[in-house]
Amino acid sequence: MIALLCAGLLIPQSAPIGEAKARIKDPLADPTASQEVRLGYRIFENTPKYASERTQSKLSCGNCHLNAGQKEGAMPLVGIASVFPEYNKRTGRQFTLEDRVVG
């Protein structure tokens, strides 16, 4: 569903690797981006470094959610906050975005 909502904002699945990288919206290159957004991007792209106290994994979010979570068909997370809270069948309760990430 989220992919449909954000289709126009995502990097197309067909974009070659180099082009996809060039199309990432990078808040570190945007002087208007807030410190919170910058930190979130850093955590997303280098989780072991910027959230070392919360994970022992060597993986970053961006290893699975490709192109900083902005790539169509690669589990994009653009706009994901608008989906939560949502009912989680497995636990039988409402899940916040934080619950989902921790899970």
The CB-of-42 to ligand HEC minimum distance in angstroms stands at 12
2 is a site residue for ligand HEC (CB under 6 A): yes
5 is a site residue for ligand HEC (CB under 6 A): no
Nearer to ligand HEC, 7 or 101 (CB): 101
User: How many C-beta atoms lie closer than 10 Å to residue 39's C-beta?
Assistant: 13
Among 13, 34, 52, 63, binds ligand HEC (CB under 6 A): 63
CA distance 69 to 41: 10
